């Protein structure tokens, strides 16, 4: 493509804004054909897909929750069989954790982080496209198995020996383990993209100390993913090996150990819950200043708190194993470490309260979700402190008390900020506002429905109701409370339903938003809503942690990036000083093909170990296609 | 909305009061371990409630008061920031202190639990999908007799229970008496419980163990020492001889068909080891790990069709004619 | 929002090296991921060893020959790897072509030895947990050998095509060399664990 020779050197400063926009859109855009749609590597399109898919999984998981609640509404109910119920709660947990909560946070980051740091695309955009396809494939695999009535039935942590070769019947546990592989691969890929985007692609002047807190949270989250996920990769691979080729990792009769699995799982599983929680914290820290009308109080403290939570989270895993009979001294250490993590969590809460206290809070819809978050997350965190006590936990472990704890932190701590985040960023994604009135109703219904549903579960747990039971005897006296919970969950579901209706409606009919409807301070609001394919006409220059508040009139920007090839600015890690103009890959169909071949291999390997050998060949071919230079302007340095 | 919330919570609290008191509740302790734990639960709950209320009050005030200041979003007033720093600092220090205290309390409570003593009754409990096998051990840890799904213990004496499993993980949990402890294949655990009052306490299996995890209950019958000794002596005996033709016929069927391959009835030819010991079946209160009350009718129902009553359990349906079934249930009901 | 130009980037280099390039960071991220994976499997190994009454379980310790051979070959391969990295920084296409052929050979050699290494473990993966975890550890490292060999071959082929003479290729070569260092470095602790822990 040497005829592109001099055109490649075309720099943005040579063009008037209107023409520049058109040319950039051509360079960075995604065509309208089906192939173009499947080939795109635009982080906004991929991110949008990710978000929509994750919310579909929320609906599916929510429907399963309603099924469970229907079954539990009456004692000795025969609505769902034991076998089906076990599949349903396993699907609910696995789906919510692996297909909804983790991916949705990553999805928001895929969309927002490049905008917030002021770059034109995420780092490794093809990997990003790949990660979406592989995630989708994992989700479809799991749900197909479930619809064929061979869904996993061993709980979302699939303890051996129940999931092992002897007791895990059929291919159910293999499906679960392989679904883990799919989601791991995609989560790890996104984590790498985020880390590199944040480290290397920030706008000039956006030093670490000015980075939006959501970006900080995602950075820490990504490191958590990088360090924690290999543990579950090993857990699920060993499980598959035990089942498929007769290894004995978890077989006590041959020198294996049942608890090894639990250690591996929770070494991942505990950080996992913070992988879900920290991005939500970042959202709170981002939404709050906008509506408190002031910078967040204690920026440094908040950053350090997030980092501290990230680091400590690797020292807590045994608190899920308090009743397995590990040595008491060791367990007490994990009580202490679990308590310690409440300190940075508390500091965050206090800083946010201080921000509100000295601010002028505007109670718009996103803010209502943040308030709901306060009330529920703090309660859930405090019950977390309760279950962190070894002796106390011996009474409530594996009861509905724990079910209550983790829904308080998962829904109150993560989903509420997420909903707030959707109300907040929806205008950026679509160019239209969601309805303020609907937002109030959603916040109210979800908050009330949530608490009515999950608060009584604490009491049920103390009253002796174990979790993961498909039914209970009438003489246990839990019928009334369970009926109450099941009815309340309908209020909760109505809230969610209204939320989805509002979102769907607003895409078409919402009020036009403008670039920055909330007068928010961070860079994503410096561009159009929805942003053009190239994100920013000129890459902004950042002079403070709240660029759009300090630069109220005009935005300082850079010039000198080329127009005819996809070029992004690379800056230094700490100070974000410009270092180089790097190319960013073009759209490509190969990530999709790689994902497809990988899917074939992974599913095939449930049935035969040889799939790993033969299935790797097409993957290799697809990867070569992916990386083989195509002579585009991007390839010519 | 707030009132709706309060009403709702109040309602569910009321509904639950039944559960706070009961034969399977952590809040109705009947032994020293559980009592310690209830103290701990209340203490932690109290602290948590206090912290929560404080946070909510501050939050409420914060959004109610409208801070005066310049309309520009970035303008901060240094004195206010200093005050905020101080407040956050104090709150953080307070958090550290409270958490340190809670950790210490929790640690002390751990020490107070489950002390072994010399004169303890010793039981070996094994979990199976989905029933419990209990072996009472003699002074030298030798097995004296085997029973299933129901433990009898003497009031006031500590009972140490060795927990193990051969198939999957189960968990022993009788909330009125103590916290739970898992039964893990390849690992040996132990727990000590003591009952202060006579009574029947229920314990659900508390680790998900497959299809019928929901129907794997254990009963602990605490009784005065004299009654306990009487029970123990009776359990040591072989099964009662069948009284009458019908029971005789029943015995023949039980020992002569598949039943004997799985079940043991001491003193007869039935010596299977993969299913509950039936020697003194009828002395138990429940059938099939809490599934049915022990009556002749339910025995017949169970044997006729165990898979409908407890779907997926490991006892197959053994085809029997109506007469045979009557004989079998008569015989089983005689195994006091 | 209106804009004002404050910074001209047009003089910046078009391609970054080392820590200026995003792929360098990407490579390090993947090294971190896989390094954690290795660390976890080594942890599994030591955990199982600590539980077993005797270690190795029902097997003699693995024979030292092939594994030590792999160690030597890998350590020696660091030299050409270093040279490739240097030449890549200097854009020396002619030398790089030779260097990559050599690196491909150095990629194949340990795989050949590996074929003898598995039997030298004196245990199968399905005999007991000791066998399982040794095979897992060795297998995991082998997949790294294979994938990096594949990548080296592709890069070698590229060097002999019209795509060879390109700054970007040289960057890829550097990253690949970096990754090979990791494959070497990972083998040292794995070798120590597999071959020497059973002899303790
Ligand atoms: C978003 C996810 C999330 C979050 C944030 C947390 C947060 C915490 N969790 Fe939770 N947890 C889960 C998700 C989460 N958890 C899940 C999914 C499970 C169950 C898995 C399963 O079994 O299926 C679980 C289970 C679980 C257990 C195991 C229980 C059992 O199985 O028996 C434990 C035990 O220690 C625990 C502890 C904690 C603690 C100490 C915190 C702390 O981080 C909380 C800290 C926060 C606060 C304390 C509130 C704010 C602080 C203040 C206002 C300061 C003042 C406070 C004091 C003075 C106390 N969690
Ligand atoms: C982020 C994670 C997450 C979320 C959001 C939820 C949401 C909910 N969960 Fe979930 N839950 C878990 C994670 C989560 N859960 C986990 C990890 C477990 C443990 C699993 C295990 O033990 O292995 C669990 C277990 C669990 C149990 C215990 C099961 C058992 O032990 O037997 C129960 C019981 O009530 C329950 C209930 C609910 C309810 C009522 C909701 C509600 O909040 C759901 C509300 C949402 C909806 C109802 C969807 C609404 C939308 C519609 C209705 C729209 C309809 C259609 C269109 C728009 C087209 N959950
Ligand atoms: Cu046994 Cu649950
Ligand atoms: Cu945890």
Q: How far is CA A76 from CA A476, A509, B293, in A?
A: 11, 47, 15
Looking at residue B56, what is its pLDDT?
A: 96
Question: Are the C-beta atoms of A3 and A631 separated by less than 8 Å?
Answer: no
Whether ligand 3 lies within 6 angstroms of the CB of B170 is answered as: yes
Confidence class of residue B68 from pLDDT cuts 50, 70 and 90? low
- The pLDDT value given to residue B116: 63
DSSP A342: H
Q: Which residues of B touch A358 (CB under 8 A)?
A: 67, 76-77, 80-81, 84
Q: Are A111 and A43 in contact (CB under 8 A)?
A: yes
pLDDT of residue A631: 77
Q: What is the mean pLDDT of residues A383-404?
A: 95
* Interval B70-81 mean pLDDT: 73
**Quick check: helix, strand or coil at residue A365?**
helix
Banded model confidence at residue A3, pLDDT cuts 50, 70, 90: very low
Alpha carbon distance C88, C97 (integer Å): 10
Query: Which of B12, B105, B213 comes nearest A481 by C-beta?
Result: B12
Chain B residues with beta carbon closer than 8 angstroms to that of A353: 55, 58-59, 62
pLDDT higher than 90, residue A14: no
- Give the model's pLDDT for residue A630: 81
Residue B197 has pLDDT above 70, yes or no: yes
Contacts of B24 (CB under 8 A, 6+ apart): A463, A464, A476, B174, B175, B176, B201, B202, B203, B204
Cα-Cα-Cα-Cα dihedral sign, residues C116, C120, C124, C125: negative
Give residue B172 CA to ligand 3 midpoint distance, Å. 9
Query: Mutate which of A79, A319, A477 to disrupt the B interface (most B C-beta within 10 Å)?
Result: A477
pTM: 0.95
For A330, nearest residue in chain B (alpha carbons):
B107
Q: Which of B66, B110, B311 sits opposite A391 (nearest CB)?
A: B110
Cβ proximity of A125 and A41 under 8 Å: yes
Predicted confidence (pLDDT) per residue in A403-445, tens digit: 999 999 999 999 999 999 999 999 999 999 999 999 999 999 9
How many angstroms separate the CA atoms of A170 and A164, rounded? 11
User: pLDDT tens digit string along A171-208?
Assistant: 999 999 999 999 999 999 999 999 999 999 999 999 99
Please give the residue of chain B at the shortest CA–CA distance from A336. Answer: B103
Nearest-CA distance B20 → chain A (Å): 5
* Chains interfacing with A (3 or more CB pairs < 8 Å): B, C
Residues of B in contact with A343 (CB under 8 A): 92, 95-96, 99
B216 lines ligand 3 (CB under 6 A): yes
Write down the mean pLDDT value for chain A.
93
CA dist A206 to A301, A409, C150, Å? 19, 32, 39
Predicted pLDDT at B113? 67
In chain A, the residue whose alpha carbon lies closest to the alpha carbon of B45 is A386
pLDDT over 70, % of chain C: 100
Question: How far C15 CA sits from the closest chain A CA (Å)?
Answer: 5
Q: Which residue has the higher pLDDT, C192 or C9?
A: C192
* pLDDT tens by residue, B260-282: 999 999 999 888 989 999 999 99
pLDDT band with cut points at 50, 70 and 90 for residue A65: very high
Side by side, which strands form the sheet with B199-204? B150-154, B217-223, B199-204
pLDDT digits (tens, 9 = 90+) for A328-350: 888 888 999 999 999 999 999 99
Split at pLDDT 50, 70, 90, the class of C138 is: very high
Contact C20 A188 (CB under 8 A): no
Three-state SS for chain B is CHHHHHHHHHHHHHHHHHHHCCCCCCCCCCCHHHHHHHHHHHHHHHHHHHHHHHHHHHHHHHHHCCCCCCCCCCCCCHHHHHHHHHHHHHHHHHHHHHHHHHHHHHHHHHHHCCCCCCCCEEEEEEEECCEEEEEEECCCCCEEEEEECEEEEECCCCEEEEEEECCCCEEECCCCCCCCEEECECCCEEEEECCCCCEEEEEECCCCCCCCHHHCEEEEEEECHHHHHHHHHHHHCCCCCCCCHHHHHHHHHHHHCCHHHHCECCCCCCECCCCCCCCCHHHCCEECCCCEECCHHHHHHHHHCHHHHCCCCCCCCCCCCHHHHHHHHHHHHCCC
Which residue, judged by its Cα, is nearest atom 13 of ligand 2?
Answer: A93
B213 interface with A at CB cutoff 8 Å: yes
> CA dist A64 to A93, A125, A451, B311, Å?
10, 34, 19, 22
pLDDT on residue A337: 92
Chain-chain contact of A553 with C11 (C-beta, under 8 angstroms): no
Inter-chain touch C125–A624, beta carbons under 8 Å: no
Report whether pLDDT(C90) > 90.
Answer: no
Ligand 4 centroid – CA A316 distance (Å)? 6
Task: State mean pLDDT over A434-460.
Answer: 96
Name, of A619-633, B106-120, B215-229, the range with top average pLDDT.
B215-229
Nearest CA in chain C to A188: C33
- Ligand 3 contact, B218 CB (< 6 A): no
Whether C6 and A234 lie within 8 Å, measured CB to CB = no
Considering only the beta carbons, identify the residue of C16, C129, C166 that sits closest to A580.
C16
* Bond before B199 cis per omega within 30 degrees: no
Cα-to-chain-centroid distance, residue B17: 20
Measuring from atom 58 of ligand 1, which residue has the nearest CA? B95
Least confident of A161-175, A402-416, A481-495, C185-199: A161-175
Residue C130 to residue C132: CA distance in whole angstroms: 5
Note the pLDDT of residue B70.
Answer: 52
| Tokens matching residue A135 | 């995630």
Chain-chain contact of A251 with C40 (C-beta, under 8 angstroms) = no
Q: Considering only residues 399 to 438 of chain A, which have any Cβ-Cβ distance to chain C shorter than 8 Å?
A: none
CA neighbor of A394 nearest in space, from A461, A314, A476 = A461
Of C7, C10, C57, the CB nearest to A204: C7
Residues with Cβ within 8 Å of residue B262, at least 6 apart in sequence: B272, B273, B274, B275, B315
Q: Is the CB of B126 under 6 A from ligand 3?
A: no
Per-residue confidence (pLDDT) for residue C5, from 0 to 100: 87
Q: Which residue of A has its CA nearest to B176?
A: A464
Contacts (Cβ under 8 Å, ≥6 apart) of B141? B122
Q: How many residues does chain B have?
A: 336
A551 pLDDT tier (thresholds 50, 70, 90): confident
pLDDT-based confidence at A83, cuts 50/70/90?
Answer: very high
Mean pLDDT in residue range A388-402: 95
Please answer yes or no on whether A582 and C7 come within 8 Å at the CB atom.
Answer: no
Q: What is the pLDDT of residues A88-122, one digit of tens each?
A: 999 999 999 999 999 999 999 999 999 999 999 99
ipTM: 0.94
Alpha carbon A487 to its chain centroid, in Å, reads 29
Cross-chain residue pair A378–B51, CB shorter than 8 Å:
yes
Chain B 235-254, CB below 8 Å of chain A: which residues? none
Q: What is the Å distance from ligand 3's center to A155 Cα?
A: 13
Q: Do A200 and C133 touch (CB under 8 A)?
A: no
pLDDT greater than 70 at residue B8:
no
């Amino acid at each position: 493509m040497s005829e592109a020779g001099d055109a490649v050197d075309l720099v943005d400063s040579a063009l008037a804004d209107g023409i520049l926009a058109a040319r950039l859109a051509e360079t960075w855009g995604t065509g309208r054909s089906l192939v173009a749609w499947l080939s795109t590597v635009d982080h906004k399109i991929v991110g949008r897909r990710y978000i929509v898919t994750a919310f579909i999984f929320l609906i599916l998981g929510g429907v399963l929750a309603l099924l469970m609640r229907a079954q539990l509404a009456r004692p000795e109910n025969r609505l769902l069989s034991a076998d089906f119920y076990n599949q349903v709660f396993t699907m609910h947990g696995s789906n919510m954790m692996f297909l909804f909560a983790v991916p949705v946070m990553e999805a928001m980051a895929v969309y927002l982080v490049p905008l917030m740091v002021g770059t034109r695309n995420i780092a490794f955009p093809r990997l990003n496209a790949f990660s979406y396809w592989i995630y989708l494939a994992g989700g479809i695999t799991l749900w197909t198995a479930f619809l064929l009535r061979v869904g996993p039935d061993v709980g979302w942590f699939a303890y051996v020996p129940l999931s092992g070769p002897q007791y895990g019947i059929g291919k159910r546990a293999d499906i679960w383990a392989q679904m883990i592989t799919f989601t791991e691969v995609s989560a790890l890929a996104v984590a790498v993209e985020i880390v590199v985007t944040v480290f290397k692609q920030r706008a000039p002047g956006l030093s670490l100390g000015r980075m939006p807190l959501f970006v900080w949270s995602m950075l820490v989250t990504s490191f958590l993913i990088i360090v924690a996920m290999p543990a579950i990769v090993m857990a699920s691979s060993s499980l598959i090996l035990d089942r498929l080729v007769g290894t004995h990792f978890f077989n006590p009769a041959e020198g294996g150990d049942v608890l090894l699995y639990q250690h591996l799982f929770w070494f991942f599983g505990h950080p996992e819950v913070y992988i879900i929680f920290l991005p939500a914290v970042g959202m709170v820290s981002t939404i709050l200043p906008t509506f408190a009308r002031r910078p967040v109080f204690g920026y440094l403290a908040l950053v350090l708190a997030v980092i501290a939570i990230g680091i400590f989270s690797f020292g807590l895993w045994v608190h899920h194993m308090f009743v397995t009979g590990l040595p008491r001294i060791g367990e007490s250490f994990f009580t202490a470490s679990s308590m310690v993590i409440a300190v940075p969590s508390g500091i965050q809460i206090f800083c946010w309260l201080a921000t509100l206290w000295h601010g002028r809070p505007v109670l718009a819809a996103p803010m209502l979700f943040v308030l709901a978050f306060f009330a529920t997350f703090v309660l859930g965190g405090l019950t977390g402190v309760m279950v962190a006590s070894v002796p106390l936990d011996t009474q409530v472990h594996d009861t509905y008390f724990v079910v209550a704890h983790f829904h308080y932190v998962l829904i109150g701590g993560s989903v509420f900020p997420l909903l707030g985040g959707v109300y907040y960023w929806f205008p950026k994604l679509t160019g239209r506002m969601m309805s303020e009135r609907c937002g109030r109703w959603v916040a109210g219904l979800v908050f009330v429905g949530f608490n009515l549903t999950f608060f009584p579960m604490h009491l049920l747990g103390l009253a002796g109701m174990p979790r993961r039971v498909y039914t209970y005897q009438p003489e246990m006296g839990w019928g009334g409370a369970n009926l109450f919970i099941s009815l309340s969950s309908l209020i909760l579901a109505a809230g969610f339903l209204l939320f989805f209706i509002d979102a769907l409606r607003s895409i078409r009919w919402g009020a036009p938003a403008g670039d920055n409807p909330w007068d928010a301070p961070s860079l994503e609001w410096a561009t159009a809503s929805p942003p053009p394919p190239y994100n920013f006409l000129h890459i902004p220059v950042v002079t403070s942690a709240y660029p759009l508040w300090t630069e109220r009139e005009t935005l300082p920007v850079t010039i000198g990036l080329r127009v005819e090839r996809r070029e992004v600015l690379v800056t230094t890690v700490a100070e974000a000083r410009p270092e180089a103009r790097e190319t960013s890959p073009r759209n490509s169909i190969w990530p999709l093909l790689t994902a497809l071949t990988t899917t074939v291999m992974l599913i095939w390997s449930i049935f035969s170990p040889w799939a790993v050998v033969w299935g790797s060949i097409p993957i290799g071919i697809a990867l070569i296609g992916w990386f083989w230079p195509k002579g585009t302007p991007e390839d010519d340095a | 909305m707030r009132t709706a919330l309060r009403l709702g919570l109040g309602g569910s609290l009321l509904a639950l009061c039944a559960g706070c008191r009961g034969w399977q509740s952590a809040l109705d302790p009947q032994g020293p371990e559980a009592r310690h734990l209830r103290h701990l639960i209340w203490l932690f709950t109290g602290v948590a409630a206090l912290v929560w209320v404080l946070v909510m009050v501050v939050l409420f005030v914060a959004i109610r008061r409208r801070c005066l200041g310049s309309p520009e979003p970035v303008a901060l007033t240094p004195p206010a920031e200093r005050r905020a720093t101080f407040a956050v600092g104090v709150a953080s220090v307070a958090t550290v202190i409270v958490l340190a205290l809670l950790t210490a309390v929790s640690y002390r409570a751990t020490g107070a639990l489950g002390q072994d003593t010399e004169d303890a009754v010793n039981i070996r409990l094994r979990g199976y999908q989905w029933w419990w096998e209990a072996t009472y051990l003699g002074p030298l840890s030798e097995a004296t007799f085997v029973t299933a799904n129901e433990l009898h213990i003497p009031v006031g004496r500590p009972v140490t229970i060795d927990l193990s499993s051969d198939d999957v993980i189960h968990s022993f949990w009788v909330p009125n008496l103590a916290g739970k402890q898992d039964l893990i294949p390849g690992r040996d655990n132990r727990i000590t419980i003591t009952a202060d009052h006579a009574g029947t306490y229920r314990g659900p299996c508390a680790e998900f163990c497959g299809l019928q995890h929901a129907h794997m209950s254990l009963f602990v019958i605490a009784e005065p020492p004299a009654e306990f000794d009487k029970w123990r002596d009776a359990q040591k005996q072989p099964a009662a001889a069948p009284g009458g033709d019908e029971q005789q016929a029943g015995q023949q069927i039980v020992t002569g068909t598949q039943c004997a391959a799985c079940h043991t009835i001491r003193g007869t030819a039935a010596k299977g080891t993969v299913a509950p010991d039936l020697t003194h079946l009828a002395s138990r209160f429940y059938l099939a790990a809490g599934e049915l009350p022990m009556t002749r009718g339910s025995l017949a129902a169970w044997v006729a069709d165990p898979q409908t009553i407890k779907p997926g359990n490991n006892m197959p349906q053994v085809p029997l004619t109506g007469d045979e079934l009557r004989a079998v249930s008569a015989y089983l009901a005689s195994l006091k | 929002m209106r804009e004002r130009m404050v910074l001209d980037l047009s003089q910046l280099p078009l391609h970054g090296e080392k820590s200026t390039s995003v792929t360098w960071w990407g490579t390090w991220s993947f090294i971190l991921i896989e390094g954690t994976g290795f660390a976890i499997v080594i942890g599994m190994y030591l955990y199982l060893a600590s539980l077993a009454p005797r270690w190795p379980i029902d097997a003699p310790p693995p024979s030292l020959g092939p594994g030590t051979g792999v160690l030597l070959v890998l350590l020696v391969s660091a030299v050409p790897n270093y040279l490739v990295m240097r030449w890549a920084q200097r854009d020396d296409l002619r030398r790089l072509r030779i260097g990559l052929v050599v690196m491909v050979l150095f990629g194949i050699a340990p795989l050949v030895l590996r074929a003898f290494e598995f039997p030298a473990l004196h245990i199968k993966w399905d005999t007991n947990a000791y066998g399982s975890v040794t095979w897992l550890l060795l297998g995991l490292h082998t997949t790294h050998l294979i994938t990096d060999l594949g990548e080296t071959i592709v890069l070698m082929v590229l060097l002999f095509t019209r795509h060879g003479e390109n700054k970007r290729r040289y960057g890829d070569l550097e990253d690949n060399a970096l990754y090979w260092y990791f494959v070497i470095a990972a083998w040292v602790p794995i070798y120590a664990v597999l071959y020497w822990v059973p002899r303790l």
